[in-house]
Amino acid sequence: MLELFVAAALNTANFIPAAPADFRFGQAIETHDFSAVCASHTVRELDPAEMPLATTSHVQVDCHGYDYFGAGRLAEFVFADGALTHVWVLVEESDLDPLQAAFVDSFGMPDVQAPVFAAFFEQRAAVRRDVPEALYYSETAAPLFEGFFSQ
């Protein structure tokens, strides 16, 4: 058990929170190799009316075992009208303080912070605390997310 804790601590100590290269924003689902970055994945077609960015299609790829912040995580790749708009990476509640510290170390202080999130506009990223996760979003999705964060 101690070995796992030490290995996780070492992995998170070298963590750089920039948007991973696997997040090819603006590109179609077919351009992403989910079998290379996920232990398993499922594709779900959702109602476009549930997402303000979508008019014709809303697809989410649930990527299980995505390597992020020292562990295999669930990453939710969200596609609107055929293009990747944002990715949520779920983390443990105990990861939130060190994850946000990594964001601050790399990016500086958040542009906007509230009890439930810290948003970093230039990097188009955020740490969410009400549901423990990291968010990365595309330039196309920036007005939606940054408008929400700025309220």
CA distance linking residue 117 with residue 126, whole number of Å: 7
Question: What percentage of the chain exceeds 90 in pLDDT?
Answer: 81
- Give the predicted TM-score (pTM) of the model: 0.89
Name the pLDDT band for 13 (thresholds 50, 70, 90).
low
Cβ atoms of 37 and 66 closer than 8 Å: yes
Give 17-46 pLDDT, tens digit per residue: 888 888 999 999 999 999 999 999 999 999
pLDDT of residue 12: 59
pLDDT at 2 over 80: no
User: Which of the two residues, 119 and 15, has the higher pLDDT score?
Assistant: 119
Give 113-146 pLDDT, tens digit per residue: 999 999 999 999 999 999 999 999 999 999 999 9
Strand order in the sheet with 71-80: 40-46, 58-68, 71-80, 83-90, 133-137, 125-128, 117-120, 112-114
The structure tokens 């105990």 sit at 94
